[in-house]
A = this chain, B = another copy of it.
Amino acid sequence: MTPKINFTPGPSQLYFTVEDHVRQAFKDGIPSISHRSKTFEHISKEATDGLRQLLDIPSTHFIYFTGSANEIWERILQNLVAERSFHFVNGSFSKRFFEIGQLLNKKPVKLEVEFGIGFTDIPSIDEGVELTGVTHNETSSGVVTPPEFIYALKDKYPNTLMAVDAVSSLPYPSFDFTKIDTAFFSVQKGFGLPAGLGVWIVNEKCLAKADQLLSKGISIGSFHNLPSLHSHALKNQTPETPNVLGIYLLGKVVQDMLRRGGDIIRKETEYKAAILYKALNSHPLLSAFVQNTSWQSKTVIVAHCGEHTERLTKFLIEKGMQPGDGYGASKKTQLRFANFPTHSKEQFELLVDSLEKFS
């Protein structure tokens, strides 16, 4: 029996309207439409127009669809880096971004800090670095890289492309896209959708960089290279037959979120995070794993539970709530709680009440 409320950080609980949208999609024959039809173009445009509005994406930036965020890590390094990228590594996912550079025979460099730690001081970055990769929300540790850090980094190195992994934070953050050249997420986290779709936001500087690599004879991939994604996106199409149903559902859920209002979603996220951090820090047996408040993620909240981890997991499951395991080596001492738009205030209040009763 699956608990009713799913706090795992991804795939997470579905956005509460998804099942209705799936039913409508089948009624309208969406899963078998051609990806070269007007109907598809309309569906694709609804999703990208909606995202543009919800996330305040300016007209300098374009939106493309891929199979996953993993794929976007690869496409970023393939399309935007001839030789050298610089990665801020503070957990498993930021490290993976760096490693993908190595696998592509680029020469990535990294600044690595301990698990649970974030970044404060802007480091010196070599002139030859073409792109910096920052993980806005490190899903493994619950550490956030404050947007102010990202903007200060871009201000110091304006000619270096800024790539932001926002996989487990969007739609919460309200980014200043004049300081971000490319950002991306996958739909099974904050958007509460079935997995199998990555969303890649890319500006004109990135398109120019890909062209530059191509003119130097460097391969930037094939069907999903930036020129191919871009020329198709201009027609609201994709190079390949994409996850049409996924794109349809994204458009519908984004419309639902717009009706609720981006600001309300942000305020509710902050309220839910605040009551959970408070409950953890005032608990005799538990604490917030990330203690520095400027690094505390609002969207993936990690509890240090020590020897009580297994018992707390069972306790919550009995109350109908599924916590996420700690990541990797922290599985036995930590629990992770996703705080996404689909998680209601009432669900968080129930979680907090339950934690208070745990002894």
Contacts and interface: CB of A to CB of B under 8 A. Distances in A.
Interface of A: 2, 6, 8, 10-14, 18-19, 22, 26, 28-29, 31-35, 66-71, 73-74, 99-100, 103-105, 186, 188, 193-197, 217, 219, 221-225, 239-246
Nearest to A241: B195
Nearest to A33: B11
12 contacts: A6-B32, A11-B31, A11-B33, A22-B26, A32-B194, A35-B195, A67-B71, A70-B223, A71-B240, A195-B241, A196-B196, A196-B246
B223 A71 contact: yes
Contacts of A221: 74, 103-104
Given A32-B194, A195-B242, A195-B243, 8 more contacts: A11-B34, A11-B35, A13-B32, A14-B31, A35-B195, A70-B222, A100-B223, A195-B245
A74 B6 CA distance: 37
A245 to B, nearest CB: 5
Contacts of A66: 67
B2 A196 contact: no
A241 B12 CA distance: 12
How many copies of this chain are found per oligomer? 2
A170 to B, nearest CB: 15
Which of A2, A70, A196, A244 has the most B CB atoms < 10 Å from its CB?
Answer: A196
A11 B33 CA distance: 6
Nearest to A167: B241
Contacts of A196: 67, 196-197, 241-246
A197 B246 CA distance: 12
Contacts of A223: 70-71, 73-74, 100
Contacts of A103: 219, 221-222, 225
Contact of A241 (B100, B188, B225): B188
A105 B217 contact: yes
Contacts of A217: 105
A258 B239 CA distance: 33
Contacts of A68: 67, 240-242
Contacts of A242: 68, 195-196
Nearest to A186: B241
A223 B224 CA distance: 15
Contacts of A28: 2
A32 B19 contact: no
Contacts of A71: 67, 223-224, 240
A197 B240 CA distance: 11
Contacts of A219: 103-105
Contact of A26 (B19, B35, B69, B74): B19
Nearest to A214: B103
A351 B103 CA distance: 52
